Amino acid sequence: MKQIDLRIPATSANLGLGFDSIGVAVTKFLKIRAYENAEFKVDFLNSDLDILPPGEDNLVISTAKSIARKYNKEMPPVRVEMDSEIPLAHGLGSSSSAIVAGIEIAAYFCDLNLSDHDKIMLGCDIEGHPDNIGPCITGGVFVGYYNHGELYYHVLDDIDFSLIVSVPNYMINTNEARRALPDSYSRQTAVNQNAITNVMLFSLFNKEYVDMGRLMMKDQFHEIYRRPLIKEFDEIKDGALRKDAYATVISGAGPSVMTLCAKDDVQGILRELKKIDNVEHEELEIYKK
C-alpha cells in the first residue's frame, strides 16, 4: 500500500515591504500521513482542526484532486491523518501549507515527477501569489514574482537574524484582510515602495540587519490599512523596538505579528512582550530545506 508522510512548514508572508512577493518558512508544521483508502477521508489528530471539512471538500484533498486532473490522472482515494502546529487564519500561511500538502500528495500518488518550480507554479495558480507557497516549498527567505503563469524566484537561507512570532487569540480571514487594501496606489507611493524594497533586499543580502529592519517598517502597501484590524500591533511593535528588535511587522494578513531581531536580544524581547495580554509569543527558527 502506498503511503506518504509530510511535514509542511508555516510561512510568514510580506516581511513588511514584500507584499505578495517575499516570505519566510518557519519551524511550525502541518503534519500529514496519507495512504490509499476506499474513500477520501480526513482524520484530525488535533481538536483545533475540527472546524475543517473531513471529506473531499477539505483543501488538501480538493487540491490533490485538481492537480491530478490538470495532469489527466485520476487521484486515488486516500485517507489523510492531519495534525498541525499552524493556527488557522492567523497570518502564518495555513492555507498555503494545506495547498502544498495537496500538491505533494497528488505528485506522490499520481507519479507526477514535479520540480520545485512546477510545484510553486501550481500552488500560485490556486493561491494567486507566491509569498507563502514559495517558501513553503523551498524553505528559507523566498523572493518571487508570479503573474499569469510567469514565475521567477530566489531563495536565501544564509540568515543570521532570529524571529519571534506574536499570535493574538482571534482569527483574520486573509480574503477579508485583502479587502481592507485600496485598489490602486499613487505613482509616488509605488515609486517609494519600489525604492525602499530594492534597498531593503540589498541590506538583507549584506546582513546589514539594522538598515534592513528600518526599511521593512516603511511599507506603504498594506500595513497602514491592516493595523486597525490588529489592536495589539502597536504595543507589540513598541515593546520589541524598545528592546532593540530590527523590525516588527504584520505576518501575512495578520493577526500574527513577526519580530526580527539579533539572537542575543530574543530573551529580553520575549520578557517585554509577555506583559501583553491575550497574545502568545514564541521564538521560531527559519525552516531550511
Ligand X SMILES: Nc1ncnc2c1ncn2[C@@H]1O[C@H](COP(=O)(O)OP(=O)(O)O)[C@@H](O)[C@H]1O
Ligand Y SMILES: N[C@@H](CCOP(=O)(O)O)C(=O)O
Q: Are 164 and 236 in contact (CB under 8 A)?
A: no
CB of 36 to ligand Y, least distance (A): 31
* Among the listed residues 9, 87, 91, 239, the single contact to ligand Y using CB under 6 A: 91
Nearer to ligand X, 94 or 203 (CB): 94
Nearest C-alpha neighbor of 8 from the set 104, 90, 75: 104
Q: Is 168 in the site for ligand Y (CB under 6 A)?
A: no
The phi, psi pair for 274, rounded to 5°, reads -70, -10
Q: Is 134 in the site for ligand X (CB under 6 A)?
A: no
Which partner in ligand Y, ligand X, none is near 178 (CB below 5 to 8 A by kind)?
ligand Y
Q: Is 92 in the site for ligand Y (CB under 6 A)?
A: yes
CA 89, 151, 67, 34 torsion: positive or negative? negative
Q: Is 180 in the site for ligand X (CB under 6 A)?
A: no
Across the chain, where does the E strand assignment appear? 3-13, 22-36, 41-44, 78-84, 141-147, 150-156, 162-168, 247-250, 257-261, 279-284
* Among the listed residues 88, 156, 159, 266, the single contact to ligand X using CB under 6 A: 88
Encoded amino acid at 185, one letter? Y
Nearer to ligand Y, 65 or 90 (CB): 90
> For the residues of 16-76, what is the DSSP string, one character each?
TT-TTTEEEEEEEEEEEEEEE-SS-EEEESSGGGGGS--STTSHHHHHHHHHHHHTT-PPP
* Among the listed residues 252, 270, 281, 286, the single contact to ligand Y using CB under 6 A: 252
Q: Is 28 in the site for ligand Y (CB under 6 A)?
A: no
Which partner in ligand X, ligand Y, none is near 203 (CB below 5 to 8 A by kind)?
none
Strand 247-250 relative to strand 22-36, pairing: unpaired
Strand-pairing partners, residue 156, are 141
Q: Is 119 in the site for ligand X (CB under 6 A)?
A: no
User: Which positions lie near ligand X, rule CB under 6 A?
Assistant: 30, 52, 58-60, 82, 84, 88-95, 98, 173-174, 252
- Residues in contact with ligand Y by the rule CB under 6 A: 13-14, 19-20, 91-93, 95, 129, 131-132, 174, 177-178, 222, 252-253
